[in-house]
Amino acid sequence: MNQGKPVLDAAIRARLRGDGAFRGLVLGLSLVATVPLLFILLFIIIRGASSINWQFLTELPRPMGETGGGISNAIIGTIILIIVATIISVPLGVFAGIFLAESGKTRLGTVARLSVETLMGIPSIVIGIVAYVWVVRPLKQFSGFSGGLALAMIMLPVITLSTEETLLMIPVSLREAALALGVTYPRMIMKVILPSGLSGIITGILLAVARGAGETAPLLFTAFGTPFMNLNILKPMASLPQTIFVYATSPYPELQTLAWGAAFVLLVIVLALNIVTKLVTSRWKIQF
């Protein structure tokens, strides 16, 4: 009788140790997964922040080998590309999102949603090639517009799906209240449903912008890049990610320094957008 007990105790103790070991393993692996983030951020802050000064933000890059210079063309370029991409993708994306929320279960709705979800998963370099074929080849020239178009195609599914998701969460009673007042369908959508979902839709747009701003691959053979300041979207245009790519892989330490600074700026922009969306979602969310 008594012999049974100690064995049981030992077995239980072993299992509890195993439990603790498992927990430790899970925690340890999780830290391995997340500590590098800290590392990346620290690395970039240290190497990059020191490059940031007024000259950096406002000057053009100097010819190879010279120190100093800046990335103003890349900053402006990214801004212009994002503006072009937003103009193309937001109206279409929001409308497509409304369509999916309203008619998602119809045949066209199902096809459209599958298309959008597929679009979402297309590698961005493939999108870049498509933009090359559609714009660069006919115009026989790299251009900011083709880059903006590529980014628009990347942003579109994000905006569409988040708009749909937002609108589906709006309670039916709001539609009914509007319809019962004799409001027409278009007005009901535009003046009641859309405003109620505004914060979610804006969040989706901001997230799409964050994604677009960080994309390099689609710009490699569309906007292509230039060491000069260029505001003309029909000509090649620089951008932050593409500049980072070129300078980071170049053999010149001066350019690499610029790349660290550019990476810092890009990171700040992208992470700021992500954080802003979180705040927007929590503060402005309309309570139903």
Partner 1 sequence: MRSTRLSDRAFRTGLVLGGVVVSVLLIAIFLSLLLSSRPALVKNGLRFLTGTEWNPVTDTFHALPFVAGTLLTSFVALIIATILSLALSVLMGEYFKKGVFANIMRTAVELLAGIPSVVYGFIGLFFLAPLIRLLQEAVGAPPYGVSILTASILLAFMILPYSASIGREMISLVPSDLKEAALSLGATPSETVWKVTLPYARSGILGGILLSLGRAMGETMAVTMVIGNANDLTPNILGPGNTMASLIANEFSEASGDVYLASLIEIALLLFIISTLINVVGKIIVNRMAQAS
Partner 2 sequence: MEDPVLNQEETILETRHLTAGFDGKDVVKGISIAVPAGKITAIMGPSGCGKTTFMRCINRMHELAPNAQVAGDVLLDGEDVYRLNPILLRRRIGMVFQRPNPFPTMSIYDNVVAGYKLNGARMARADRDRIVEETLRRVTLWDEVKDALFRRGTFLSGGQQQRLCIARALAMKPEIILLDEPTSALDPKATAAIEELIVSLKGVVTIVQVTHNIPQAARISDYTAFIHLGELVEFGQTNKVFTVPKDKRTEEYLSGKFG
Q: Enumerate residues 191-210 that contact partner 2 by CB under 8 A.
A: 191-192, 195-196, 198
- Integer Cα distance of 241 and 247 in angstroms: 10
Distances (CA, A) of 58 to 74, 78, 126, 230, 244: 10, 14, 33, 14, 17
Residue 181 near partner 2 by CB under 8 A: yes
Among 10, 11, 27, 286, binds partner 1 (CB under 8 A): 27
Residue 287 near partner 2 by CB under 8 A: yes
Q: Which CB, 278 or 285, lies closer to partner 2? A: 285
- Integer Cα distance of 111 and 100 in angstroms: 10
Contact string (CB under 8 A) for partner 1, positions 203-242, x = contact: -------x--xxxxx--xx--x----------------xx
Contacts of 281 (CB under 8 A, 6+ apart): 199, 200, 203
Residue 160 near partner 1 by CB under 8 A: yes
Residue 32, burial from CB neighbour count under 10 angstroms (0-12, 13-18, 19+): exposed
Per the CB < 8 A criterion, the answer to whether 288 and 170 are in contact is yes
Residue 64 near partner 1 by CB under 8 A: no
Among 21, 171, 249, 279, binds partner 2 (CB under 8 A): 171
To partner 1, the closest distance from the beta carbon of 8 in angstroms equals 11
- Integer Cα distance of 77 and 259 in angstroms: 15
User: Segment 254-273, which members bind partner 2 (CB under 8 A)?
Assistant: none
To partner 2, the closest distance from the beta carbon of 165 in angstroms equals 18
Q: Which of 171, 281, 279, 262 is nearest to 213 (CA)?
A: 262
Residue 36 near partner 1 by CB under 8 A: yes
Partner in contact with 232, chosen from partner 1, partner 2, none, beta carbon below 5 to 8 Å by kind: none
Residue 122 near partner 1 by CB under 8 A: yes
